[in-house]
Amino acid sequence: MYRGGRASSAAPGPGGNAREGRHMVQKRVLIVEDEANMRTVLREVLERSGYVAAEAADGLEGLAKAESWHPHAVLLDIRMPDLDGYEVCRRLKANPATKPIPVIVVTAVVDSPVSRLAYEAGAAACVLKPFRMEALVTVLQTTIAGAERRAKSIAKREGNPA
């Protein structure tokens, strides 16, 4: 579990650690957030936790980066100008290239319909701001692991070794 310090090279952090004896792929996380300060904070926390992070300042940029960069997960703000997080999530889930990518909604809106609408749009999890960074990393780690298990199960069912 992430405890706020640097991950030791003896045990991989949630994002994996390529310096170990066996190669582990670092997990890629796309941050779609219109507030620059929040993007920076999230990126720094993710990188300290062993993830590779990319940023998008709005929904359209996020959609393009998700399709070209193929992240293992997307951290998505709900309230953004032009294209809100619900619509971004719906479009990610409607696109076969991005449909398997889990979306974690990160929002300051403390309103019960927000979570319901986010899940209806296809979000895998919702995290309310303010939050403890360790908790966010745990949600991210769990969500990515679940998506990987689902992908392996589907591949096995279809006769493709994962």
Q: Which domains does the chain have, with CATH numbers?
A: 28-157 (3.40.50.2300)
Q: 39 Cβ partners below 8 Å, 6+ apart? A: 31, 33, 55, 57
Predicted local confidence at residue 117, as pLDDT: 93
**Contact in structure between 93 and 123 (CB atoms under 8 Å):** no
**Contact in structure between 108 and 77 (CB atoms under 8 Å):** no
Cα separation, 112 vs 154, whole angstroms = 32
Predicted local confidence at residue 15, as pLDDT: 60
DSSP code of residue 19 = T
Q: Which mean pLDDT values do the consecutive 10-residue runs of the chain (162 residues) have?
A: 31 46 76 96 95 98 97 96 95 97 90 87 92 93 94 80 58
Structure token digits, residue 138: 């745990």
Predicted local confidence at residue 7, as pLDDT: 33
DSSP code of residue 28 = E
Predicted local confidence at residue 138, as pLDDT: 96
Helices then strands (H, E): number in the chain?
Answer: 5, 5
Predicted local confidence at residue 151, as pLDDT: 87
Global pTM? 0.83
At residue 134, φ and ψ (nearest 5 deg) are: -60, -40
